Amino acid sequence: MTQDPHAKLHIAAGAAQTPTPVPTPLRVVHDRQGTDLEAAELAAGQFLRALGVSTDSESLRDTPRRMAHAYAELFSPRPFDLTTFPNDEEYDELVLARSIPLRSVCEHHLLPFVGTAHIGYLPGQRILGLSKLARVLEHFACRPQVQERLTKQVADWLQSQLEPKGVGVVIQAEHTCMTLRGVQATGATTMTSTLLGLLRTDARSRSEFLALTGLPR
């Protein structure tokens, strides 16, 4: 049987056009095991009464329930997909999301701290959907935290999941455990930073990142 040379051509062309498999996005979900809102409401009521705050009035009767739900919300980040895309253009300059709103809870006093975060990276083979930088921040912020650990957790996680050439995270926040109690240093803010990869070792890249975030170089 004589083979059709055009058939080989069609097969070869079809094989060359097979699309590259798209990686399945990583689904990031907070583990809510152990959450018991009824027990939290009961404990909140006991806590208030132990401090001499009566919950018998109409205004305060539902406060323990509201407290329980409020803290459950503060400790429950929303699930998200870590969506990435191929860096087809081989973009190798800084990607920076500035002034991402931040709220977390100090693990020492369970009082809020609020502020902003600047998160940037130097892309490797893949780039990240920009909204995911805020999602990653929320994921680690929605739990009892200290700012130093939060800053490093966000940077380390992005470095391990995205494999960029460098990552930088800067957080500036006001801690109500410092401004509303104790020293009562009203208006004081705390700044922390973590630099990894080229943003730590390459002077030009580090200087550009710090300049864009407003940190002294």
Catalytic residues: 106-109, 147, 175, 177
* Spatial separation of the C-alpha atoms in residues 64 and 54, rounded to whole Å: 11
* Spatial separation of the C-alpha atoms in residues 51 and 53, rounded to whole Å: 6
Q: Do 178 and 187 touch, CB atoms closer than 8 A? A: no
Buried/exposed 70-87: b ≥16 CB within 10 Å, e otherwise: ebeebeebeebebebeee
For the record, the structure tokens of 134 come out as 């805020």
**Beta strand extents in 107-182 (DSSP E only):** 112-122, 126-128, 144-145, 166-175
Torsion angle, alpha carbons of 36, 38, 43, 44, to 10: 110
Q: Do 72 and 40 touch, CB atoms closer than 8 A? A: yes
Q: At what angle do helices 131-141 and 147-162 cross, to 10 degrees?
A: 130
